[in-house]
Amino acid sequence: MIHGIINVYKEKGFTSHDVVAKLRGIVGQKKIGHTGTLDPDATGVLPVCLGKATKLCDLLTDKDKTYEAVLLLGRTTDTQDTSGEILEERSTQDLTEKAVRECVMGFVGDYDQIPPMYSALKVNGKKLYELAREGKTVERKARPVKILEINILDVDLPRVRMEVSCSKGTYIRTLCHDIGEKLGCGGCMESLIRTRVSSFQIADAKTLSEIEQLRGDGILSKILVPIDEMFPSYPKIIVKEKWKAFAKNGNPLEPKMLTDGKTIPADETQVRLYDEEGKFIAIYKWKEKDRQYHIVKMFFND
């Protein structure tokens, strides 16, 4: 079985689930998971976890992301993007570039965002987009999100092209909608490219056909990111050979069980645990009150 993360370039028309299904066929294994959905019309970075790396799916879903989006002002749709049914069109004739820029930049920081009806969030066990397709609208609670940074790349009214870095759970479609509402003319998202998820950049992303070619050439490992590389800031510790099996069962570890037991980190510090052969085993955390390392997440691949 293959273990690691592949930076997939999701092409237009594919759902995130489509990407996982096709990758299962390409690599020949079932244990694969994606790290957060991208709308079918959106493109860009979609890290996909294979094998033991599926334990990282939640961690990567929680990471900050960066998008490049085009906001179309003057149009409101039921999906908050141009693929939806037009609900209203309003004039943008009186808009000035200065007013638009000030409004857009006013969304930087924390704000409460109401998730769109056309989303994969569940209400009473049913996805919102399923209810929306049935013509139903349900009340959604606003959720706190954070817009870390907005870089306005181009203003050619009624369009605004911008780069947005944001926290998990942020809907760029809804951001576009909210900007349009604040300007009084309405707005929706015309296009979306995800350019970054955590350390995964669009420049390094590979399409499914490219991945299939690499697999066929027997060099898939060239783009496979090892699990432990997702924790570059975590100190590295090595368990002694006689205690390796003990560690692989997730037992607490005392400093004497490590090759460098004299180096003690600060309380609550998470570390990468390896065996003496250099194989990554797990993430552990130092507990000062116990004077022990305790298991956080196991990854060993035996």
Distance CA 147, CA 152 (A): 13
Residue from 211, 204, 198, 142 nearest 168 by CA: 198
Q: Which of 39, 81, 178, 228 is catalytic?
A: 39
Structure tokens at 29: 């294994």
**Pick from 157, 183, 186, 181: which is nearest to 87 by CA?**
186
Q: Is there a contact between 245 and 49 (Cβ–Cβ < 8 Å)?
A: no
Q: Do residues 221 and 257 lie in contact, with contact meaning Cβ atoms separated by under 8 Å?
A: no
From the number of C-beta atoms within 10 Å of its C-beta (0-12, 13-18, 19+), residue 47 rates as buried
CA angle 280, 283, 284 (to 5 degrees): 125
Examine the residue annotation and report whether 39 is marked as an active-site residue of this protein: yes
Q: Which of the residues are catalytic?
A: 39
